[in-house]
Amino acid sequence: MKAAIVILSDPSSGTEEALGRLFNALASAYDFKQNGDDVTLLFQGAGTRWIGEVSKVEHPAHDLFEAIKDSVAGVSCGCADVFGATDSAVKSGFDLIKDNAVPGTTGLPSLRNLIADGYQILTF
């Protein structure tokens, strides 16, 4: 099984829903990983802001994030630019993904390529 999990929720909204969506995305990645499946995570849209938050030791989802950190493909470059998350993504050591050359941006991840490679896409 191959799954690509895309995190879109915005931590700056301050809602329990946003945190719940992040937690469920990470828990899903953990489930796939524990079962030996091919799983990859992408932070896209306002979700690019999560990298700076979940990397903090005091964040409630930090331990779960650490358990699946090696499954993170990276952060959408164009989205990180728009949502002010480029510095935290770079500081955290994640790749800025830009294989979908969307006009007017520095590039975004290609969901089409993931589907072509046999991934099922889950969004949170």
Task: Write down the domain spans for the chain.
Answer: 2-123
pTM over 0.85: yes
Those residues of the chain that have pLDDT short of 70 are none
What is the pLDDT, as a whole number, of residue 14?
87
The span from the CA of 22 to the CA of 10, in Å, is 9
Q: Which helix (H) or strand (E) holds 65?
A: helix 62-68
The DSSP call for residue 40 is E
- What CATH number does domain 2-123 carry, 3.40.50.300, 3.40.718.10, 3.40.1260.10, 1.10.760.10? 3.40.1260.10
The DSSP call for residue 82 is H
The span from the CA of 115 to the CA of 121, in Å, is 7
